[in-house]
Amino acid sequence: MEDKMNQERIEPIRHMLLEMAVGNFSYRIQRSNADDEVESLILLLNMVAEELKSSFSHLSYVNPHNSYSSYVQASFVLDSNWMVNKISCDVSLLLGYSPKTICGAAFEIILSEESAISWNNIKGKLANNSSSSENLELVFVSQNQLLIPAFCTVCRFMDSTKILISLVTTVVKSTIIDDASFATPVIARKDSAYRLSDVQLIQQVYDYILIHIDSPLPNLKALSHIFGTNEYKLKYGFKHLFKTSIYQFYNAERLKKAYLLIENTGIPLKEIASMSGFVNYPNFSKAFRKSYGYAPNKIVRKQ
């Protein structure tokens, strides 16, 4: 029984490490009353995530391995009994719960213990002053049992007993939970079960492609041999982490390079095609037109 409980506590640690590996330092793990090594590890991990988030924010760091969404905005509408009446679609996307799970439930069930206390204080203020509006940070508990801090505005609708809660937070797009995972049981999806070493390897492939963007892309079999992995893990792991296939990513990046060269240099188009990894100009022109909607020679060149 104890091993099973420890395994349940370790699962959020594994998930949070994967999020940190791909540059997302927003999540936290909810603390418990346990006094053991697992709890010490959770405390240290939360502290490290906080330090990394502060450091990278200060340095204006952006992880090139992810597509960031500056803000995710979501809303809850509560009834006069402080029960969730309606939610915006972004609530499910951010937290991973289905609408059926949240609607009709008390709002505080998706808050951390500390935030539940803050929420009770806000309820008291709104009960005593119907026209008041409160701004505060609340920490939500996701379906994966990770903590997601968000800045919230809580106010009452005019001439109504209903309460509106609007939240704003910053997340990595690849961590937003897909619609397909909307199931009430908290069960991790199999396709997200990547070890930290797998994530690091796939990011090495990402960097390899960028470094060799001026060369033809090796086929999947050759790439898997270069990095000592198998084709299946490489293909589906890359697609899962970066939301695009290896070839689509390679093609998009070399076309971006070509566009910049055409726009800012006087290098002949045929030479730019070769510098961008295309075997000949007709293939380059066809790919460029498909991506941008016009031929390379239509770009106004600065030189």
What rounded mean pLDDT belongs to the chain?
Answer: 78
pLDDT at 98 over 80: yes
**CATH assignment of 68-181, given 3.90.550.10, 3.40.50.300, 3.20.20.140, 3.30.450.20?**
3.30.450.20
Mean pLDDT of 102-113: 90
Task: Inform me whether the pLDDT recorded for 67 exceeds 50.
Answer: no
Q: Is pLDDT above 90 for 175?
A: no
Q: 4-13, 52-61, 119-128, 280-289 — which is least confidently predicted? A: 52-61
pLDDT band at 11 (very low <50, low <70, confident <90, very high): confident
pLDDT tier for residue 293 given thresholds of 50, 70 and 90: very high
Q: What is the mean pLDDT of residues 272-300?
A: 89
What is d(CA 216, CA 223) in angstroms, rounded to the nearest whole number?
12
CB-based contact 85:79 (threshold 8 Å): yes
**Read out DSSP for 234-297?**
HHHHHHHHHSS-HHHHHHHHHHHHHHHHHHH----HHHHHHHTT-SSHHHHHHHHHHHHSS-GG
pLDDT tier, 60 (very low <50, low <70, confident <90, very high otherwise): very low
Q: pLDDT of 109-131, one tens digit each?
A: 999 888 899 999 888 888 877 66
Whether residue 148 is predicted with pLDDT greater than 50 in this model: the reply is yes
Q: Which residue has the higher pLDDT, 174 or 297?
A: 297
- pLDDT attached to residue 181: 41
Q: Are 12 and 23 in contact (CB under 8 A)?
A: no
Q: Does the structure show a pLDDT above 70 at 209?
A: yes
Question: Does the pLDDT of residue 154 top 80, yes or no?
Answer: yes
Contact criterion met (CB below 8 Å) for 77 and 163: yes
C-alpha pair distances (Å), 220 with each of 30, 56, 65, 287: 41, 34, 20, 20
Q: What is the biggest distance separating any 2 CA atoms in the chain, rounded to whole angstroms?
A: 74
Residue 4 has a pLDDT of: 63
171-180 average pLDDT score: 47
Q: Where are the domains of the chain?
A: 2-64, 68-181, 196-298
Are the C-beta atoms of residues 141 and 107 closer than 8 Å to each other? no
Alpha-carbon distance of 8 to 4, in angstroms, equals 6
Integer Cα distance of 67 and 80 in angstroms: 39
Half-sphere exposure of 230 (CA within 13 A, CB side): 2
The pLDDT of residue 259 is 87
pLDDT of residue 196: 64
Tell me whether domains 68-181 and 196-298 share a fold.
Answer: no
Give me the mean pLDDT over the 206-225 stretch: 87
Residue 11 is encoded by which pair of tokens?
């699962």
pLDDT band at 191 (very low <50, low <70, confident <90, very high): very low
3-class secondary-structure state, position 3: helix
Confidence band, pLDDT 50/70/90 cuts, at residue 95: confident
DSSP state of 181: G
Could you tell me the fold of the domain covering 196-298? Arc Repressor Mutant, subunit A (1.10.10)
**Half-sphere exposure in the Cβ direction for 241 (13 Å, CA):** 32
Answer yes or no: are the C-beta atoms of 280 and 219 closer than 8 Å. Answer: no
Residue 163: pLDDT above 80?
yes
Range with the lowest mean pLDDT among 82-96, 184-198, 237-251? 184-198
Q: How is domain 2-64 classified at the architecture level of CATH?
A: Orthogonal Bundle (1.10)
Q: Is the pLDDT of residue 56 over 90?
A: no
Q: What is the pLDDT of residue 54?
A: 60
